Chains A and B, each alone.
Chain A
Amino acid sequence: MKKIYFILVFSFFSILIFRCQKNIDVKIQNYDSQPVIECILYPGTIPKLFLSNSVAFFSDQATPQQLFVRGASVTIIGPSGSDILVVDSSFDNFRCRWVLFYKGNFPSVVGGTYSLTVNYNNKIYSATTTINQPQVQIQSASYVYSFHDIYGDHEGVVVNYNDATGSGNHYRYQMGRIIDSTVYGASNLGVVHSSCIGNGDFYIRELGRSVYSDKNLDGQQLTLTVEPAFTHQQDDTGFVFIQSIDASSAEFYDQLDKQKLALFNPFIEPVFIKPQIEGAIGVFGSAILSDSVMFVFPE
């Protein structure tokens, strides 16, 4: 009996030890920073290019201001000639911070082919895009109280439109709204900093994260259901667009979407972001917007 008691007591203490864990820091590998270039041309709009540096994964540099690249030579050559972009900024009301970017002078035009050159640190990064995507027409935009997709359960804006004839078309959702400081971000974007903007209204542009392609659906009616990025009240209005985007942009933003999902969901395989611009991260692309449809939130 004494032996059995001894074995049981011994077992218990062994199990306690067995449960121990210890965290150990991992050795950090060297990393050479890369430029991050993001520029989508919209017809009728002056080019806006975001240029920043990537940093080593464990770096303590993190904010857009810290990572913004100054002193680069940025040129876009298109039908209107050579457009030299210069540093400009706008205020992000939602996050209450200044956002830096390079801004051009000439609005982009449909059918134009544009060549981008970024000269930075004695290295040249270049890419080309042509604004020739088909413009689609939205047939309807409605509201659904709840639907479940890979991102979770949420309300949604349902948009119906017809795919343009010809395969290889890519689309994403856009909504423009005027909001005020009573509005919250629907995901993890947090709240509007009313201390920053007071009680005034401001314009926001929501871009849907998912990219939709017409693979195997050429010329058919397509339906997107998209979660609104910000909270709303009954009778709030917005304007819904469908962007037709080029293949490079579609691939880049699709990878971003999937990687973001993989970062949240531990059961999804990690996603590598493949370069669309040689030597750099990012994309130089273009999009054509559909005509807008006014949308009224029913609740």
Chain B
Amino acid sequence: MKFKYFSLFLFCFAPQFLFSQSYTLSGYIKDAKSGEALIGASVYITTYKTGTAANNYGFYSITIPKSDSIGVVFSYLGYKAQIKKIYFGQNISLDIKLFPDSIIGEEVVITDKNNTDNVEKPRMGVIDIPISKIKELPAILGEPDVLKVVQLLPGVQSGQEGTTGFYVRGGNSDQNLVQLDEAVVYNPNHLFGLFSTFNSRALNKVTLIKGGFPAQYGGRLSSILDITMKEGNNQQFHTEGGIGLISSQLTIEGPFVKDKASFIISGRRTYLDYILKPFLPKTNQTKYFFYDLNAKINWEINSKNRLFLSYFTGTDKAGYTEASSINYGIHFGNSTATLRWNHLFGPRIFSNTSIIYNTYLLSLSTVQGNYYSQLYSGINDIGGKSEFEFFPNSNHTFRFGAVYTFHTFSSTGKSGSIPTNLQATTIDANKIPPRFSTEGAAYINDEWNISKRVGVNLGVRLPIFVTSKVTYVKIEPRATVKVELDSSSSIKASYTVMNQFLHIVPSSTASLPTDIWIPSSNITKPQLSEQIGLGYFRNFKHNMYEASAEVYYKTMYNQVAFKEGSQLLEQSNIDSSLVFGKGWSYGAEFFLKKNEGKLTGWISYTLAWTWQQFPDLNYGDKFPFKYDKRHNLSVVAVYEANKKWTFSAEFVFSTGGAYTLPVGRFNVNNDGSLYDASYYAYDRRNNYRMNPYHRLDVAAIYKKSRHFFKWKYESELVFSIYNVYSHRNPYFVYLTVDPITNVAKAKQVSLLPIIPSISYNFKF
């Protein structure tokens, strides 16, 4: 079966294109002011009505038949497009610098050619998140956040109130691969998920892929969130900062050597701990802070070689030790480091080789009443990746490569009643037996324009996972087909198979982060998904508006959950506390986006169903997934009134999440024994729905140029109101039973009412 797939693949990609009389136009497309790579910038050959796009490093390459001259349009959203007329009798290397819309340089020509990738590319389920818009949208406590914006996209469900956890097309949170400069970030959250770890000022590009995955992506079932950090301004030094309600941040970037080497360093820290300290009683030892730091250096050694070194670290520490029934202490964080080497083997072959290190730690201790819970989850990954992009002609783009990661997991947990000496033994991380595993994959993918109207994206990925007891070898065919109906609309279909060898064991009860990561084993089989999608894509008014409608059906096998009544004990093997089942999700997603003009934004609506079925849970019957939310609506608008004022608003509505409550009670009267009590009767899991969630946020940004002594700088005052009409959105539900009457009551707790905030940003 596997050989059949491979033979088919080779047949499809026979080297029919090997080289006739043709030449290659290649180079880098960059921001003229900062030198930042313009990822995804469009290159369109008007002579042949064909084109390509810049890759994650801003590199483009297109091979076309020999011609006396060709017309080329270089464009990128938010930048003035450039038209070039080029004599084309040889291979040409041409680096392009595009100017932002607000600046017009001498050689810039204005054109109405805009990005039509959403219609023309044989890819679906892919959304580029506009970094520039993130800072203009309303944010909790004035902290702009990329993951908050991800939650506003079709097919993406948010988790609990105020959190940045996201759930894509019915998948659990562990099924999202979040990678920063190719390094995996296992927990992209701060402050129990209220903010993400990503400082938006340090980011260049964010892309969410939720279906039709190209073969270069793998390792997760539901989505890829591919985040690329800025490289740093290689033209001049800049300082950018912000003072917010709970945190401040500072970003410095500039050239080491102009046009050759640059750096960026960006840090953020909260000071909630210092603000609250004077107001707290001495018995209350509540403390909280987080910080994160992004740094990147890049060096263009010569025209064929570039080096990048990226580093990220983020840490949260919190403690709540008031003498009451609920105490906790938590420490978690991620660190990543990536060294990358770009090399051009010629104008048609681009390669990137990376060495990647990342580490993740979660240490949590919680007390509720007379019971405690302790968790420790540690992951260390070290690996490498070598990828090649081959542009043989304008109809094919090949990507192939191999990935290797060595994982070390140290996960355990325990809970129980508090000992009489009030000293629960702590988990000694050094005594947790590590679990080693090796994960690798090889892949090849071709983006093939079969004709003007028909294109395909075909690929295959071969992942392998090795532990001391078991080896898994899988095959993942990937295919996306596009048929253009006319110049502004197309239909697309996709089929993908994904495997995932890492698992988060979700707790259905705890409201604190309890994400214990474990690798696949001989007991816990790899997660597997199959997804099919069908979509209609259309642009209007010279691509000012983008619209799409997608339907999908996804099945997920080898899903994990804790056994009923399972209690973590430090000496127990977590795998033995698990049960295994399947999940499936289906739905329709609608997206309308306005890209240009004074008013920009989007409307996103998702209608979805997600089910799970475990033989050992819920009497073996299917039940709705915790984040099964039938309706999700997001409306986002940004209005640039003038050069000084920008207004924005977002409205979200979603069906309430599912949770479990008992429906009945019964007594057991066994002759006065310890069994005597009132017990709960459940009819099914996730039988209740929280109230619908809806919220309106607004923001206003006032921009002004100011002077600080002799230096001119740009300033921004950002006023925002989160949850304008203070809707009491559900956070969680808990039960209380009157000890005298034995009568039960359920209470729903809301977390975030109206939160006005103000922050101040500056840029030198």
Contact = CB atoms under 8 A, between A and B. Distances in A.
Interface string A259-276: 111111111111111100
Contacts of B675: 207, 209, 253, 256-257, 260
A260 B567 contact: no
Most chain A beta carbons < 10 A, residue from B420, B679, B687, B757: B679
A57 interface: yes
B666 A57 contact: no
A207 B755 CA distance: 54
B669 A52 contact: yes
Interface residues of B, number: 87
A266 B666 contact: no
Contacts of B562: 269
Given A207-B673, A262-B565, A264-B370, A57 B662 contact: yes
B733 A26 contact: yes
Contact of A17 (B419, B678, B754): B754
A268 B509 contact: yes
B169 to A, nearest CB: 25
A267 B509 contact: yes
A169 to B, nearest CB: 20
B417 interface: yes
Contacts of B508: 269-270
A263 B680 contact: yes
B618 A12 contact: no
Interface in B261-290: 272, 275-276, 279
A64 B749 contact: no
B689 to A, nearest CB: 9
B510 interface: yes
A18 interface: yes
A205 interface: yes
A151 B417 contact: yes
Most chain A beta carbons < 10 A, residue from B677, B680, B745, B749: B680
A18 B191 CA distance: 14
Contacts of B454: none
B276 A15 contact: yes
Nearest to B566: A269
Given A54-B681, A207-B673, A18 B416 contact: no
Contacts of A187: 674
Interface stretch (A27-35, A159-167, A289-297): A27-35
A175 to B, nearest CB: 10
B672 A92 contact: yes
B544 interface: no
A50 B688 contact: no
A40 B728 CA distance: 50
Contact of B419 (A20, A23, A55, A152): A152
Interface string A143-158: 0001011111100000
A167 to B, nearest CB: 19
A95 interface: yes
Given A22-B728, A269-B565, A38 B669 contact: yes
A64 B675 CA distance: 14
A148 B417 CA distance: 9
A22 B674 contact: no
Nearest to A259: B679
B750 A271 contact: no
B469 to A, nearest CB: 19
Most chain A beta carbons < 10 A, residue from B276, B417, B567, B674: B674
A17 B617 CA distance: 40
B309 interface: no
Given A62-B678, A153-B417, A11 B245 contact: yes
Nearest to B512: A267
A1 interface: no
Interface in B373-432: 373, 415-421
B661 interface: yes
A270 B742 contact: no
Contact of A272 (B141, B619, B746, B754): B619
B741 interface: yes
B672 A25 contact: no
A101 B668 CA distance: 12
Contacts of B452: none
Contact of B416 (A50, A57, A62, A152): A152
A55 B746 contact: no
Contacts of A256: 668, 675, 679
B371 interface: yes
A57 B662 CA distance: 6
B741 A60 contact: yes
A21 interface: yes
Given A18-B752, A260-B677, A265-B371, A272 B682 contact: yes
Contacts of B421: 153
A52 to B, nearest CB: 6
A253 B670 CA distance: 11
A229 B674 contact: yes
A20 B402 CA distance: 51
A265 B567 contact: yes
Interface in B713-764: 728, 730, 733, 741-758, 760
A131 interface: no
B660 A204 contact: no
Contacts of B531: none
A25 B245 CA distance: 33
B667 A36 contact: yes
B661 A26 contact: yes
A281 interface: yes
Contact of B664 (A11, A24, A33, A189): A33
Nearest to A67: B667
A10 interface: yes
Given A58-B744, A205-B672, A258 B565 contact: yes
A228 B208 CA distance: 58
Nearest to B510: A267
B504 interface: no
A92 B673 CA distance: 11
Contact of B666 (A12, A22, A55): A55
Interface string B676-697: 1111111101011001000000
Given A62-B742, A260-B679, A95 B672 contact: yes
Contacts of A12: 275, 279
A270 B682 contact: yes
Contacts of B366: 267
Contacts of A36: 666-668
A34 B681 contact: yes
A266 B141 contact: no
A29 B687 contact: yes
Contacts of B666: 34, 36, 52-55, 67, 281
B755 A14 contact: yes
Contacts of A33: 664
B258 interface: no
B569 interface: yes
B674 A206 contact: yes
B124 to A, nearest CB: 38
Interface string B64-104: 00000000000000000000000000000000000000000
Interface in A217-276: 229, 253, 255-274
Given A38-B668, A62-B741, A209-B675, A24 B568 contact: no
Contacts of B755: 14, 17-18
B687 A281 contact: no
B567 A150 contact: yes
A56 interface: yes
15 contacts: A7-B760, A15-B275, A26-B746, A54-B681, A56-B664, A101-B669, A152-B370, A152-B417, A259-B565, A259-B680, A263-B680, A265-B371, A268-B567, A269-B566, A271-B564
Given A18-B752, A229-B674, A267-B507, 9 more contacts: A15-B275, A15-B276, A20-B753, A59-B743, A60-B741, A153-B421, A259-B680, A260-B679, A264-B417
Interface of B: 141, 243, 245-246, 272, 275-276, 279, 366, 368-373, 415-421, 507-510, 562-569, 617-619, 660-683, 685, 687-688, 691, 728, 730, 733, 741-758, 760
